[in-house]
Amino acid sequence: MHQRRPCGTRACLILLLLTAGFAFHPGAADTATLRLGEINPLTGRFAAHGAALHRGIQLAVEEANASGTLRVTLATRDDEARPDRAVAAAEELTTRLRVAALVGGYVDTLVGPISEVAERQKVPYVATASLDERLTQRGYRYFFRISHLRAYVDSMVGIVQEVFKPQSVAILFSATPGASQLARRQRERLEQARVQVPVFEMFTSGIADFTPLLARVRDSGAEVLIADTFFADHLVMVRQLRALEVNLKAFLGAFGMEFPEVVRDLGPSGQFLFGTTGWEPGTTEPGTEAASRAFVDGYRRRFGTQPPPLAMHGYVGARAILAAAERAASRGREVGPEDVRLGLQSLDLTTPLQRLQFDSRGEAKHYRRLIVQIQGSTRVVVYPPDRATGKPIYPMPPWDKR
Amino acid sequence: MVLGAYVGEHLWRLAGWSPILAMPLAALPAMLLAVASRPLLARVGEPFVLRSIVLTFGASLLIQSGLQTAFTADFRLIAAPGWDRGISLFGARVARGRLLIAGAALAVLALLHLLLTRTFFGKSLRAVSLDREGAALAGINPAGVDRVVLALGGALAGATGPLFASIQYVTPSAGIGPTLIAIVLTIFGGVGSMSGLLLGGLLLGLAEGLAAWAGGAPWREVTSLGLLLLLLRWRGTGLVGGRAG
């Protein structure tokens, strides 16, 4: 029987020539490479959030590759919103694929486990959406994040104290570490300011029936409801507020109020609701206008839609790593984890979101949250005053007047 | 159910169909999917119950991935106009949409009850469920009954979809929560008892709501699972189930 040769002479010659061609190609030797690992919930209950973060990361990587200063390979893994999958993905990316850095993550139940693996494997990790204060109090050297709890507390308590000025506030919060800590900090600050918090209730995100909790809010006489939970819970909660005719002076949601579906799906019920955002197209930190416009244009060209604010978090997380890697890239070799970590520690970068610098614990120094209110088909920034683009409508009209 | 929810959401968004009107069309793809699974289930060996659970769990993961590819992971909600308005009923405020959903669910249950008790097919189905070989000796085709039961189950799950999507947002993985509730309810009400399911659903819902209102949200699950444990201790076959053994 005829046996095939593993490599014919002619084929081997062609292979050799091709290899030589690549090796001597100008730029091949001086373009440094970066292996970047991404972990996000692309399926499961946070899939919409993970998809937004992923697109931002993808855009940043594609821009870096197009610029030619760095050749970046991105390995993306789906954690399915499950901590065990997040750990498995982090182990695979750091040990088998040997990535130089990790990026991504939504909610601390997923970010926390990834950060443990990253620290153990000495691979820097930039979390794109994380709040749990304990994560930056561990003395970890490889953990960085672009959001933090204080920004949420400052903006949400700030508008309550300075604009709403109520006697009593109800707080409902999801049973995640970040949301629970946020609610506790809000209660502390409000009680210090002598604002009563008669309802302070935790619930499991994703429940279909908020009626008993909203009845407690109504019976307590609270004027303002703070909902420290996610986008989909807001949709269900607001519809039930209307059904029960709980007339609040303000509804203030923590996460996901910037999703366009809030306006689309809630219709008139969504009018006058307040929420937080880190960035909105057209609402930029002074000095970042050009970068913000370029991001919006680039995103629209690539994905054909307006970027959701969470995509900006993904973009900035990836941009931080790429900027940190660029210093090592100038030496023309494969960028390693230590190169990225050192670069992140001394980073001072103007991004479309904000100026980005990390403190010694890995927290973004200049991160801020804005308060927006849905007015018509747009979201108007109403707080803090130095970033406001419109005036808040307060109190919200009762349900039967909408 | 999630497939039906997506069909209902599309019909509502693109053509303005009410969730109740969308129920028959939403039932169709779920019914076809259930019938298509029949050859797979027919090949499952003993222990049938355990293996079929594993098989359907695997199939549900595949369906989730398929739904995500087809419809993306975006949250979908049927925000039917007026359904979030409340009306007063015996001194309590109830969402109009929830009342309509309860009415539609009761109507479907009544039809199912009539089908099972007043038609030849219903009697055949119960006969096959009680004694497969005996039913075959009496001239009933058990395999044919299996096919229709699968189709009926799929259709009922699909028809529920638009109703579910009008009170709760839908994602490809949104079926997990209702599946767990269905399992708890089946045990609580008693396997094979429609009246037990209805009574159990009402009792558990009321107990959960009252517990959350009086004690806070964490008491919701504690109450329902506590009641389930108590009931199983007192009556192993559920509220209306037959005598065990």
The answer to whether A146 and A317 are in contact (CB under 8 A) is yes
Per-residue pLDDT tens over the stretch A368-382: 999 999 998 888 999
Confidence check: pLDDT of A12 > 70 = no
Which token pair is A35? 């292996």
Identity (one letter) of the amino acid at A315? Y
Angle between helices B120-130 and B96-118 (to 10 degrees): 80
Q: Which residues face A375 on adjacent strands?
A: A378
Whether chain B has a CB inside 8 Å of the CB on A243: the answer is yes
Per-residue pLDDT tens over the stretch A184-231: 999 999 999 999 999 999 998 878 789 999 999 999 999 999 999 988
Domain spans of chain B, in order of start: 2-174, 176-245
Q: Which of A188, A192, A236, A248 is nearest to A200 (CA)?
A: A188
Cis before residue B47, ω within 30 degrees of 0?
A: yes
CA distance A381 to chain B (A): 25
Contacts of A48 in chain B (CB under 8 A): 73-75, 171
Q: Please, which pLDDT band fits residue A53 given cuts at 50, 70 and 90?
A: very high
Contact A47 B209 (CB under 8 A): no
Tell me the residues of chain B between 107 and 166 that have a Cβ less than 8 Å away from chain A.
Answer: none
Identity (one letter) of the amino acid at A227? A
- Rg of chain B over Cα atoms, rounded to whole angstroms, equals 19
Nearest to B93 among A50, A207, A244 (CB): A244
- Rg of chain A over Cα atoms, rounded to whole angstroms, equals 24
CA distance A104 to chain B (A): 17
Tell me the residues of chain A between 205 and 234 that have a Cβ less than 8 Å away from chain B.
Answer: 206-209, 211-213, 215-216, 231-232
Q: Which residues face A106 on adjacent strands?
A: A129
CA pair distance B118, A401, nearest whole angstrom: 51
Contacts of A216 in chain B (CB under 8 A): 213, 216
Contact B79 A212 (CB under 8 A): no
Confidence check: pLDDT of A20 > 70 = no
Q: Where are the beta strands (DSSP E) in A273-396?
A: 274-277, 349-350, 355-356, 370-375, 378-383
Apex A115 CA angle, A285 and A99, nearest 5: 90
CA pair distance A244, A309, nearest whole angstrom: 31
Superfamily name with CATH number, domain A150-282+370-401: Response regulator (3.40.50.2300)
Which token pair is A212? 């008993």
Q: Please, which pLDDT band fits residue B244 given cuts at 50, 70 and 90?
A: very low
Enter the ipTM. 0.72
Per-residue pLDDT tens over the stretch A293-321: 999 999 999 999 989 888 999 999 999 99
Per-residue b/e over A165-190, b at no fewer than 16 CB within 10 Å?
A: ebeebbbbbbebbbbbbbbebbbebb
Angle between helices B2-15 and B142-165 (to 10 degrees): 50
Per-residue pLDDT tens over the stretch A98-110: 999 999 999 899 9
The answer to whether A229 and A340 are in contact (CB under 8 A) is no
CA pair distance A297, B120, nearest whole angstrom: 65
Q: Where are the beta strands (DSSP E) in B67-163?
A: 86-89, 92-95
Q: Which of A348, A378, A392 is nearest to A280 (CA)?
A: A378
Tell me the residues of chain A between 31 and 70 that have a Cβ less than 8 Å away from chain B.
Answer: 42-45, 47-48, 50-51
Q: Please, which pLDDT band fits residue A10 given cuts at 50, 70 and 90?
A: low
Instruction: Count contacts between A and B (CB, < 8 Å).
Output: 95
- Residue B87 has φ and ψ, to the nearest 5°, of -130, 155
Q: Where are the beta strands (DSSP E) in A111-218?
A: 125-129, 143-145, 168-174, 196-203
Portions of chain A given CATH number 3.40.50.2300: 32-148+286-356, 150-282+370-401
Q: What is the pLDDT of residue A30?
A: 65
Query: What is the overall mean pLDDT for chain A?
Result: 89
Whether chain B has a CB inside 8 Å of the CB on A291: the answer is no
Which token pair is A249? 């002076």
Contact A242 B84 (CB under 8 A): yes
Contact B98 A243 (CB under 8 A): yes
Per-residue b/e over A198-207, b at no fewer than 16 CB within 10 Å?
A: ebbbbbebbb
Contact B217 A203 (CB under 8 A): yes
Q: What is the pLDDT of residue A6?
A: 45
Nearest to B169 among A42, A203, A232 (CB): A232
Q: What is the pLDDT of residue A170?
A: 97
Record: fold of A32-148+286-356: Rossmann fold (3.40.50)
Which token pair is A356? 């980005």
CA pair distance A372, A366, nearest whole angstrom: 19
Tell me the DSSP string of B195-206.
HHHHHHHHHHHH
Contact A45 B84 (CB under 8 A): no
Q: Please, which pLDDT band fits residue B55 given cuts at 50, 70 and 90?
A: confident
**How many other β-carbons are positioned within 10 Å of the β-carbon of residue B72?**
14
Give me the percent of chain A exceeding a pLDDT of 90.
67
Q: Which of B66, B15, B23, B14 is nearest to B165 (CA)?
A: B23
Nearest to A243 among B74, B84, B172 (CB): B84
